[in-house]
Amino acid sequence: MSIIEGLQDFVGDALALLTPVEASWQPTDLLPDLAGEGWRERLGAFREEASRLPAELLVVLVGNMVTEEALPNYAIALQRVARDATGTSETPWARWLRGWTAEENRHGDLLNAYLRLTGRVEMREVERTVQHLIRNGFSQGNEGDDYASLAYAAFQERATRLTHAKLGRLAAANGEGNLARICRKISADEARHEVFYTRVVGEVFERDPEGMILSYHATLRKLIAMPGARMADGRAPGLFEDYSAAVLRAGVYTTHDYAAVIRHLNTAWGVERRSLAGKAARAQDYICRQPERYELLAAEIECRALERAPARFSWLVDGLDR
């Protein structure tokens, strides 16, 4: 039995991190009620508030939504680890995968509905981008290495948690309270998911420290690919790079955040304190140096991204030089 397979009981205990459907928020709870008396006023007030969001933040939100909407890509990737043999298996891993997917599915739905109701977005362009992204697929770069997939998931859940939370704070600072609330709700889900993947990787570290450190090392060897890296609108090339530059410009997720995520995970997994030898010790040394390395590279990476020639995002009604 593989280590991953042997984690069924551990994963079973961690299933409590999923929220039962009856206790879950649904997108409807965070959007104006369009049924019944007064819907025009409610929608009008909602749109008035949404108009306060600067276009720079709206573009970031669209990119985040597109990334969330490509959920099938990530579910396929995690299926390789969780292995739900029938699609309805009752093993803890299979139940986690389906429960996680069902919770994540609300994120794309909610952001999609929010953006549509603002009236500020060319929804057809956004929808085309989502379809392209799902067709283009997703690779975290270490397929077949289950440990690396789990380390990647822990990293991404934390990164998306920070991204949604920061965007929410910026929305609030601009007087857009509805979006602030939406981002907080999504971010809280990401936080629970982050705890799951971080715990599971922590347990793999206990059972197979050498194997886990080599896989974590493989994950960090290259700049960690973002889930939406293969997004395209079928128009200008380089859409993802333009979106990434917009994220940096808006200060929603920076190289400093990237470094902070690695630093946090290193601490959570006790990377520094493990006594390892040979190849594993070299990997450990490399991993421990990464937060500082990215801190030092931050200015250079950001300069390069911000030097991108301006172009236009097809996503916004009013357009925006990207």
Assess contact for 219 and 142: CB atoms under 8 A.
yes
Catalytic site residue from 67, 118, 129, 160: 160
| 107 catalytic residue (yes or no) | yes
Q: Active site residue: 157, 176, 203, 233, which one?
A: 157
Query: Which of 58/182 has CB closer to Fe ion?
Result: 182
The Cα 85–Cα 94 span in angstroms is 8
Nearer to Fe ion, 149 or 160 (CB): 160
Q: How far apart are the first and last CA of the chain?
A: 50
Instruction: Let me know if 90 is a catalytic residue.
Output: no
CA-nearest of 157, 270, 146 to 209 is 270
Name the minimum Å distance from CB 157 to Fe ion: 5
- Measured over the CA atoms of residue 127, residue 224, residue 155 and residue 249, the dihedral's sign is negative
User: Hey, what are 71's tokens?
Assistant: 């959920």
Is the CB of residue 127 less than 8 Å from the CB of residue 69?
Answer: no
Coil/strand/helix, residue 244 = helix
Q: For Fe ion, which is the closer residue by CB, 145 or 190?
A: 190
Confirm whether 190 is a catalytic residue.
yes
**Catalytic, out of 104, 145, 146, 257:** 104
Q: Which of 193, 203, 269, 315 does the annotation list as catalytic? A: 193
Is 203 a residue of the active site? no
Task: Give least dist CB 321 to Fe ion, A.
Answer: 28
The least CB distance from residue 312 to Fe ion, in Å, is 28
Choose, from 19, 25, 109, 132, the residue flagged as catalytic: 25
Choose the catalytic residue: 145, 190, 194, 233.
190
How many Å apart are CA 129 and CA 125, to the nearest integer? 6
Nearer residue to Fe ion within complex by CB, 49 or 104: 104
Whether residue 83 contacts residue 93, with contact meaning beta carbons closer than 8 Å, is answered with yes
Residue whose beta carbon is closest to Fe ion:
107
Residue 95 CB coordination number (10 Å): 18
157 is catalytic: yes
List Cβ neighbours of 10 (8 Å cut-off, separation of 6 or more).
Answer: 200, 203
Q: Is 115 in contact with 123 (CB distance < 8 Å)?
A: yes
Burial class (CB in 10 A: 0-12, 13-18, 19+), 311: middle
Smaller CB distance to Fe ion: residue 190 or 233?
190
Min CB(67)–Fe ion separation in Å: 8
Kindly list the residues in this chain that would bind Fe ion in the complex (CB under 5 A). Answer: 68, 104, 107, 157, 160, 190
- In the bound complex, what is the minimum distance in angstroms from residue 193's beta carbon to Fe ion? 5
| Nearest residue (CB) to Fe ion, 160 versus 314 | 160
Paired tokens of 34: 């369009």
Q: How far is the CB of 104 from Fe ion (least distance, A)?
A: 5
315 is known as an active-site residue: no
- Residues noted as catalytic: 25, 68, 104, 107, 157, 160, 189-190, 193
